Structure 1
Amino acid sequence: MSADARKTTVRRPRMTPERELELLVATLDVLREDGYEALTMDAVAAKARCSKATLYRQWQTKPEMIAAALYATRPVRVNEIDTGSLRGDLMLLVEQVAPRAQQDTALFTALGHAALSDPALVRALRESVIDPETANLTAFVDRAVARGELAARPAALAFLPQLLFSSLHTRPLFQNAVADYDYLVGFIDDVVMPVLLHT
């Protein structure tokens, strides 16, 4: 066998899911510590103790890597929630989201600012995070319609993701506090449910 032929038979070992998660966690660590603009493949590689080539084999761009990290480390699998009621689904959602409010508020605030000038970041976040989670929230409402809790899809469904996202990430600005569980329960009961029930 020639040297060239031998080279073509060499296969790098596939990255394990555990190692991939380590790289993605390192990505968010760098993002929290240094901010979006300062996040580079070099910085993530140093944090994760890997080569840049390893990162580029998995993710072609910084926005893709960040979006993948957010999706992989999300605190709740919204698609797995089905309590049998619309309010129950929303309450379980906020119960699982609330413990991460402190660290995630600063993270998403920084990303929101970066997104204003980085269309690639917006596109990556929409494709990997926003659109899938919007579909999951829509499923909450569609199940409620099928159960008879709602007569039809409410017009407010189009604003449900924005309502929930804003409740999580604007409380520090208005009240100098994170969106903890009690705050989010009140937001669901006093704002979200009345709006959705008003079809």
Structure 2
Amino acid sequence: MARTRLTAEREGELYDAVLDMLREGGYDGLTMDAIASRTRSSKATLYRQWGSKPELVVRALRHNKPVSVGDIDTGTLRGDFRALVERTDDCRLERDSALMRGLAQAVHENPDLHQALREQLIAPELTGLDGMLRRAVDRGEIPAETAALRYVPHMLVGAFVARELIEGRSPDRAFLSDYIDAVVLPALGAA
């Protein structure tokens, strides 16, 4: 696909607009026509640059991620989890939680979106998380045979989903820190 030259600033503006529109109307309400109108772009430019709505949405999500799990290595597993939580703020967590809720249904109905999310966002984060956990095993913080190792991604995603369902509140940094200390680390048998 031929990409046009956009400045980093202009590309960031487009990504911010896409995410704002997702929060406002959900994935189904987001159209390339609406994006073009809001961002004062041509629809042809959007398709030439990103190819499809799922690709544009995933690129916007990836561009606006505050931190990648693979970039964190504090020397301890608890420190790595703390750094992950501390690299974002509560306002962003609330906005991102709303965004993820809106996309959760859409991935079930749109296989292209699901595939793009898995390839460009989920798989790299799982690779980073696996590396983080492997380092903890190598340092002796977690027994290698711990059954809960394979469920860490599920536990972390569960924290976001469950808080909203059970308490009607988005997760914040304090909740996530407590959750990691009370649930994730003990499940792993962390030293």
| TM, length-normalised to structure 1 | 0.87
Match of 1:43? 34
Structure 1 gap ranges (5+) = 1-10
What are the superposed Cα offsets for residues 61-100 of structure 1, whole Å, 9 maximum, x if unpaired?
Answer: 1111111111110122222211110010011111224522
Q: Quote the sequence identity (%).
A: 47
State how far apart, in whole Å, the 1-side matches of 2:112 and 2:21 are.
Answer: 19
Q: Which residue of 2 aligns with 1:179?
A: 171
Q: Secondary structure at the match of 2:27?
A: coil
* Matching residue's letter, 2:98: A
Aligned match of 1:5: none
Q: Looking at CA atoms only, which structure, 1 or 2, has the larger radius of gyration?
A: 1
Structure 1 residue 167 and structure 2 residue 149: aligned?
no
**Alignment TM-score, normalising by the size of structure 2:** 0.90
1:30-179 mapped onto 2 (5 Å cutoff): 30-99=21-90, 100-152=92-144, 154-179=146-171
Say if 1:157 and 1:56 are closer, same or farther in 2 by CA, change over 3 A. Answer: same
Structure 2 residue runs of 5 or longer lacking an equivalent are none
SS at match of 1:46: helix
1:36 corresponds to which letter in structure 2?
Answer: Y
Distance 1:116 1:141, change over 3 A: same
Are 2:73 and 2:80, in contact at CA under 8 Å, matched by a contact in 1?
yes
* Aligned residues between the structures: 189
1:192 maps to what in 2? 184
| Shift in Å, 1:153 | 5.9
The Cα offsets for residues 19-63 of structure 1, whole Å up to 9 and x where unpaired, read as: 222211111111111211110111111222211122111211111
Shift, 1:154, TM fit: 3.2
TM-superposed CA distance for 1:107, in Å, is 1.0
